[in-house]
């Protein structure tokens, strides 16, 4: 479904007044195109002709009831999201409805705002499920550009720039945040260049101490320094006729920068311990995620070297600037890790896809890749749920050094203290941060869920509504903390 298309909602109820009321609300508040049916049989005929994006149906109706209609709907189009409503709701009925695939269960009388919110989420869920099927088909046919996955305008511009500069010998500086694919871009440049027949040499600049980096890049002669018991060919000479990638070039020490400048200016290399220079034919590609201009101002990077490297600049887009590619990338990684871990036929739930789309992705594509890998490893069935993608705190990143994570732990401690009146903060302060936070959050969440269920008399739907949560999300938390709602009735 096109995201700009008007959502289509089908409302099914044998009460004409209820149909008219719901249709008016959805058209006015949601901007939906609304179709109505007075029976499940009529609704099924309409669905086969023009599948809606969401269905809102009563349960108690003459002829086919809403639960049977739900099952028949799933056979026709499993992507359509169905919401059940009734004025005679029971816990057993709600449980059965959710097991049969209902997205939500709403008891009459209901408020308009809740209907509007639920329909909005249902439409988004259907859209994501349908897009996911399209993406799976598209991945099978897609002509990948040297490992790049995506169709966003921003990525297309970057790919076009790589195509245009690849055949030349020009020095290229690839800039971008961590996890945006700078090394992938360098490999693409080399693979499309006339130098592709020889392997590209990659130097991880931050990983090598200053004296080792210099000898690795430029080589040395026997006796040049203590321990130099033989001649060593430098990486620039090894890259003769090929490409050398200086990964994270901002971390090269200033003393080595001086010699690197000479290589770029004169196309010559002078090994340590030798006066003679050697001409080299090497294309240089450099990458960095740092602000080189700021390092120049602080005297940490040579300005003349910067201009030698910055002949042509490629800026890799962040994942947030090509958010439309997230489902396509997620499906690509799902296919990859399903094969790697021997877990066939996995798929994302609509809620998992929604959470992937909402994530800010500070770690960019690499963070997304790790999240999907985690989901493949941890999901219990054939569907990756939202909870499988991250830890108990709902974050991908390790919050150990995160101020927000610390504040959350302190608030949780205070909440537990308020409920139990014991175990002051000093006790937790004697434990390692991670251990203390996990203990406190576990106790806080368990106490919070118990209080919500107790107040609702064990009614999961009512407890979830009070907590401002979806019923399915509330149930997942109950399973995580091994809690049963019937214990609170």
pLDDT of residue 188: 93
Q: What is the pLDDT of residues 350-373, one digit of tens each?
A: 788 888 888 888 889 999 999 999
CA gap 248, 273 in Å, rounded: 27
Strand intervals (E) in 379-474: 383-384
CA gap 468, 221 in Å, rounded: 71
pLDDT of residue 248: 93
Please report which confidence band the pLDDT of residue 408 belongs to, taking 50, 70 and 90 as the band edges. very low
pLDDT of residue 1: 45
- If phi > 0 it is left, if psi is from -120 to 50 it is alpha, else beta; for residue 193 that is beta
Query: How many C-beta neighbours within 10 Å does residue 278 have?
Result: 17
Please report which confidence band the pLDDT of residue 429 belongs to, taking 50, 70 and 90 as the band edges. low
Over residues 94-99, mean pLDDT: 70
Residue 110: what are its φ and ψ, rounded to 5°? -125, 160
Over residues 262-275, mean pLDDT: 86
CA gap 487, 489 in Å, rounded: 6
3-state SS assignment for residue 113: helix
In degrees, rounded to 5, the angle at the alpha carbon of residue 428 between the alpha carbons of residues 426 and 434 is 145
Please report which confidence band the pLDDT of residue 135 belongs to, taking 50, 70 and 90 as the band edges. low
pLDDT of residue 382: 87
Range in 66-70, 102-106, 278-282, 466-470 with the lowest mean pLDDT: 466-470
Please report which confidence band the pLDDT of residue 136 belongs to, taking 50, 70 and 90 as the band edges. low
Q: Report whether pLDDT(401) > 70.
A: no
pLDDT of residue 465: 80
In degrees, rounded to 5, the angle at the alpha carbon of residue 29 between the alpha carbons of residues 26 and 32 is 45
CA gap 234, 270 in Å, rounded: 9
CA gap 5, 151 in Å, rounded: 20
Please report which confidence band the pLDDT of residue 488 belongs to, taking 50, 70 and 90 as the band edges. confident
Q: Report whether pLDDT(173) > 90.
A: yes
Domain ranges of the chain: 8-140, 153-315, 319-389, 403-488
Percent with pLDDT over 70 in the chain: 84
Instruction: Give the tokens for residue 294.
Output: 């700021």
- Cα–Cα distances in angstroms (integers) from residue 406 to residues 219, 433, 441, in the given order: 48, 8, 11
Instruction: Give the tokens for residue 412.
Output: 């949780």
Same fold, 8-140 and 319-389: no
DSSP conformation letters of 78-103: TTSEEEEEESS--HHHHHHHHHTT-S
Q: From the centroid of its chain, how far is CA 401?
A: 21
Which CATH architecture group holds 153-315?
Answer: 3-Layer(aba) Sandwich (3.40)
CA gap 292, 25 in Å, rounded: 55
Percent helix, strand, coil in the chain (nearest 5)?
Answer: 55, 15, 35
CA gap 238, 229 in Å, rounded: 20
pLDDT of residue 419: 46
Range with the largest mean pLDDT of 31-40, 67-76, 218-227, 399-408: 31-40
pLDDT of residue 79: 81
CA gap 109, 132 in Å, rounded: 35
pLDDT of residue 117: 86
CA gap 215, 212 in Å, rounded: 5
Per the prediction, the chain carries an average pLDDT of 81
Query: How many C-beta neighbours within 10 Å does residue 168 have?
Result: 14
In degrees, rounded to 5, the angle at the alpha carbon of residue 148 between the alpha carbons of residues 143 and 149 is 70
Strand intervals (E) in 183-254: 201-204, 219-220, 232-233, 243-247
Higher pLDDT, 249 or 386: 249
Over residues 342-348, mean pLDDT: 88
Q: Report whether pLDDT(349) > 90.
A: no
User: Is the CB of residue 460 less than 8 Å from the CB of residue 475?
Assistant: yes
Over residues 242-252, mean pLDDT: 94
CA gap 305, 217 in Å, rounded: 16
pLDDT of residue 18: 87
Give kind and range of the element (H or E) at residue 157: helix 153-165
Query: Does domain 319-389 match CATH 1.10.8.60?
Result: yes
Nearest of 62, 24, 7, 19 to residue 40 by alpha carbon: 62
Q: Report whether pLDDT(210) > 90.
A: no
CA gap 40, 47 in Å, rounded: 10
Range in 78-92, 325-339, 375-389, 453-467 with the lowest mean pLDDT: 78-92
CA gap 319, 357 in Å, rounded: 10
In the CATH scheme, what is the code of domain 8-140?
Answer: 3.40.50.2300
Residue 244: what are its φ and ψ, rounded to 5°? -120, 130
Instruction: Give the tokens for residue 111.
Output: 């408020």
pTM of the model: 0.57
pLDDT of residue 430: 57
Query: How many C-beta neighbours within 10 Å does residue 154 have?
Result: 17
DSSP conformation letters of 296-335: HHTTSS-HHHHHHHTTEEEEPPPGGGGGGGHHHHHHHHHH
- Cα–Cα distances in angstroms (integers) from residue 214 to residues 171, 210, 219, 234, 260, in the given order: 20, 6, 8, 9, 9
Range in 1-15, 174-188, 272-286, 418-432 with the lowest mean pLDDT: 418-432
């Amino acid at each position: 479904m096109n995201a700009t298309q008007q959502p289509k909602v089908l409302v099914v109820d044998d009460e004409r007044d209820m149909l008219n009321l719901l249709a008016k609300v959805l058209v006015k508040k949601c901007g939906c195109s609304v179709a109505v049916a007075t029976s499940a049989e009529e609704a099924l005929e309409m669905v086969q002709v023009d599948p809606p994006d969401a269905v809102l149906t009563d349960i108690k109706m003459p002829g086919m009831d809403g639960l049977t209609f739900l099952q028949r709907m799933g056979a026709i189009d499993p992507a359509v999201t169905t919401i059940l409503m009734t004025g005679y709701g029971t816990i057993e009925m709600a449980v059965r409805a959710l097991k049969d695939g209902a997205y939500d269960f709403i008891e009459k009388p209901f408020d308009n705002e809740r209907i509007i919110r639920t329909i909005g989420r249902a439409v988004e869920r259907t859209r994501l499920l349908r897009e996911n099927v399209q993406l799976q088909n598209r991945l099978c046919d897609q002509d990948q550009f040297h490992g790049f996955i995506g169709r966003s305008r921003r990525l297309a511009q970057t790919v076009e720039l790589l195509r245009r500069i690849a055949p030349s010998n020009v020095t290229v500086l690839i800039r971008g945040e961590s996890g945006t694919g700078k090394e992938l871009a360098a490999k693409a440049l080399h693979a499309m260049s006339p130098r592709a027949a020889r392997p590209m040499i990659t130097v991880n600049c931050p990983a090598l101490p200053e004296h080792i980096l210099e000898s690795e890049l430029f080589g040395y002669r026997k006796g040049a320094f203590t321990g130099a018991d033989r001649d060593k060919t430098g990486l620039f000479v090894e890259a003769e006729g090929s490409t050398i990638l200086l990964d994270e070039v901002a971390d090269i020490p200033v003393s080595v920068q001086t010699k690197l400048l000479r290589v770029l200016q004169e196309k010559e290399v002078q090994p340590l311990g030798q006066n003679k220079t050697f001409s080299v034919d090497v294309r240089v590609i450099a990458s960095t995620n740092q602000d080189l201009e700021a390092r120049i101002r602080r005297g940490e990077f040579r300005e003349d070297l910067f201009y030698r490297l910055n002949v042509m600049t490629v800026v890799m887009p962040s994942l947030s600037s090509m958010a439309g590619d997230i489902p396509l990338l997620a499906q690509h990684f799902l296919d990859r890790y399903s094969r790697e871990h021997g877990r066939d036929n996995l798929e994302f739930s609509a809620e998992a896809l929604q959470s992937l789309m909402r994530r800010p992705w500070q770690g960019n594509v690499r963070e997304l890749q790790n999240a999907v890998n985690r989901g493949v490893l941890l999901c219990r069935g054939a569907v990756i749920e939202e909870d499988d993608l991250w830890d108990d705190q709902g974050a991908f990143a390790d919050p150990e050094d995160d101020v927000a994570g610390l504040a959350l732990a302190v608030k949780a401690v205070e909440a537990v203290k308020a409920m139990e009146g014991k175990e002051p903060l000093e006790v937790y302060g004697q434990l390692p941060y991670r251990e203390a936070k996990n203990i406190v959050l576990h106790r806080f969440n368990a106490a919070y869920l118990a209080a919500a269920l107790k107040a609702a008399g064990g009614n999961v739907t009512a407890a979830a509504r009070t907590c401002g949560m979806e019923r399915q999300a509330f149930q997942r938390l109950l399973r995580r903390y091994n809690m049963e709602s019937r214990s609170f009735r």
